[in-house]
Structure 1
Amino acid sequence: MHPLDAFLLSEGDDVVWEAFHENSKTSRVEPHLYFERHPSDQTIVTMMRGLREVKPYADRAKVALPEELGSMRVSLEDALTGRESAREFGPGPVSLGDVGTILRCAQGVTRDNVDTSFPRPFRSVPSGGALYPLEVYVWARSVTDLPTGLYHYDPHDHDLDVLGDVDIDDAFVQQDLVESAAAVVLVSAVFFRSVFKYGERGYRFVLLEAGHLVQNALLAARGRELAAVPIGGYFDREVDRALGFDGLHESVVYAMLVGRPVSA
């Protein structure tokens, strides 16, 4: 027997990734998850208008982010070829302008679509059906002019909702790396925003979109000559609990650390 044969899965094994991939395939014959058949455009638009585009924190204080997109110090070509995952961060804070630029590039509004046939504004991140199921949070650890704490990014107003203090160092596998970062970007998904239209495949679209969003943020950080690294090593239930999510209807699906580069 070939040594790899022992690792091959036999039919009927209870493997989550296989079940997910199979269930999220587009089919011509299987019924829609929520509708008898695929919903009409009118139904989709009606549903979109009834769903929130971004979570409201109306009772929270706001922190305005710089309106102007911060200038990039590195070209796109150099950002792409020079991007690497930081294994450590140098001392010192990042600026509020850095944070605002990264968030706007990650999923800021790029077109308001007023007086068009599109029911929602467009953002910098591609999204299946322009449904935008993702929310972005920032755990500011060392950001100039921003007190330490947790914030929610509102892409429509381009500001931060102040959510208060939080300490989730222990919720990450690489605690020492998190402790040296200036800020942690946390991406959560409100799953129903996508799956109401696409059914099980909507979950696949959510994860794809999270990858697009974080790549935008990584390139923006590199463009600002900052160090950054995407993070998947965290204890989901602990992070969700700290952010007030139930882990089912909304859950953190990706994270990114950003900070000063280590001096050569």
Structure 2
Amino acid sequence: MPDLKNTIAFLYLQETKFNRSTIYDRPRPNILPGEPFKRYKNAEKVLLKRRWEGHVDTNDLWSILQKRRSRRNYTGGPISIDELSLLLWSAQGVTAQAGPYYLRTAPSAGALYPVETYVVIERVSGIEPGIYHFDVKGFQLETISRGLFLGDLARSALGQGFIRSASCVFLWSAVLRRTMSKYGARGLRYIFLDAGHICQNLLLAAEALELGACPVAAFFDEELNEMLGLDGIEETAIYMAAIGRKRGEGL
């Protein structure tokens, strides 16, 4: 087994460190910027709800932080479209506009927002099972494909069986050039940090709604890319999280 200093991860961290004496000598990245938003223009749309009544102000932040756990034990029951809408908005919803930038609930380096959200739905009332893309700007879902995919997703996640009983699973991808066109190779660090911010928002919102949620980082990358129709170069899967109705208070 290679020593820590000989791993790709360590070498990457070393090569992307900022140094006070050389920071202004770094060449600008030779990477063209990408589109700030992704949209499936011809996809069938599912409008999301902006009705937060009955869901907000039910828990204070401190108690939610205290209660949050990664929960894998689900009833297999459905969640509502209102709950899904609130989860999506909490994770990455638009909250304001500042010039060309659409600011969101989660922070992003340079307000570039390289992370796209997809949802594999199996048990959400009022929405047919399938794979959907979250159109952040339009606050709607765009249909990619219809069908039952949680079994395949569980197998792609190294056989983590609890995924099969989830109501839905959030999948996040990185559009690399959105951030790397400004920050170069160091931008990859920021992309993964962005995904972490988004996921934590989702986990806290799920806890506030008394839903179970569990982040998942172990999966066969190319299988997820194929499921979402991504090329793994311009855009690649990086993270996921299962959502379901809690079965008791177990983890």
TM value normalised by structure 1: 0.85
Please tell me the residue identity of whatever aligns with 1:225: E
Q: In the alignment, which residue of structure 2 is the partner of 1:19? A: 11
Q: Distance in 2 between matches of 1:227 and 1:75?
A: 18
Partner-residue secondary structure (3-state), 1:247: coil
Superposed displacement of residue 119, structure 1: 2.0
Q: In the alignment, which residue of structure 1 is the partner of 2:158? A: 173
Q: In the alignment, which residue of structure 2 is the partner of 1:4? A: none
Of 23-32 and 219-228, deviating more is 23-32
Please tell me the residue identity of whatever aligns with 2:218: G
2:109 pairs with 117, 125, 128, which one? 128
Q: In the alignment, which residue of structure 2 is the partner of 1:94? A: 79
Matches within 5 A, 1:11-90: 13=6, 15-27=7-19, 28=23, 29-34=25-30, 51-69=34-52, 71-72=55-56, 73-90=58-75
Q: 1:78 to 1:57 in 2, by over 3 A?
A: same
Q: In the alignment, which residue of structure 1 is the partner of 2:218? A: 233
Superposed displacement of residue 156, structure 1: 1.0
Q: In the alignment, which residue of structure 2 is the partner of 1:139? A: 120
Unaligned runs of 5+ in 2: none
Q: Distance in 1 between matches of 2:41 and 2:181?
A: 26
Partner-residue secondary structure (3-state), 1:199: helix
Of 159-168 and 95-104, deviating more is 159-168
Q: 1:10 to 1:226 in 2, by over 3 A?
A: closer
Taking only the aligned residue pairs, the percentage that are identical comes to 33
Query: Number of matched residues?
Result: 239
Q: Distance in 1 between matches of 2:179 and 2:225?
A: 20
Superposed displacement of residue 155, structure 1: 1.3
RMSD: 1.9
Superposed displacement of residue 110, structure 1: 0.2
Does 2:178 align with 1:182?
no
Superposed displacement of residue 8, structure 1: 8.1
Q: Distance in 2 between matches of 1:257 and 1:75?
A: 23
Q: 1:245 to 1:236 in 2, by over 3 A?
A: same
Please tell me the residue identity of whatever aligns with 2:102: P
Q: 1:84 to 1:200 in 2, by over 3 A?
A: same
Partner-residue secondary structure (3-state), 1:219: helix
Superposed displacement of residue 249, structure 1: 1.5
Does 2:100 align with 1:119?
yes
Superposed displacement of residue 10, structure 1: 7.0
Q: Distance in 1 between matches of 2:42 and 2:226?
A: 21
Q: 1:82 to 1:32 in 2, by over 3 A?
A: same
Q: Can you list the C-alpha shifts for 1:202-236, whole angstroms capped at 9, x where unaligned?
A: 11000000000000000001111100001111111
Q: Distance in 1 between matches of 2:165 and 2:103?
A: 34
Q: In the alignment, which residue of structure 1 is the partner of 2:141? A: 160
Superposed displacement of residue 91, structure 1: 2.9
Does 2:3 align with 1:9?
yes
Q: 1:64 to 1:22 in 2, by over 3 A?
A: same
Please tell me the residue identity of whatever aligns with 1:197: K
Contact 2:225–2:231 (8 Å) recurs in 1:
yes
Larger of the two Rg values belongs to structure? 1
Contact 1:69–1:104 (8 Å) recurs in 2:
no
Superposed displacement of residue 68, structure 1: 2.6
Contact 2:128–2:146 (8 Å) recurs in 1:
no
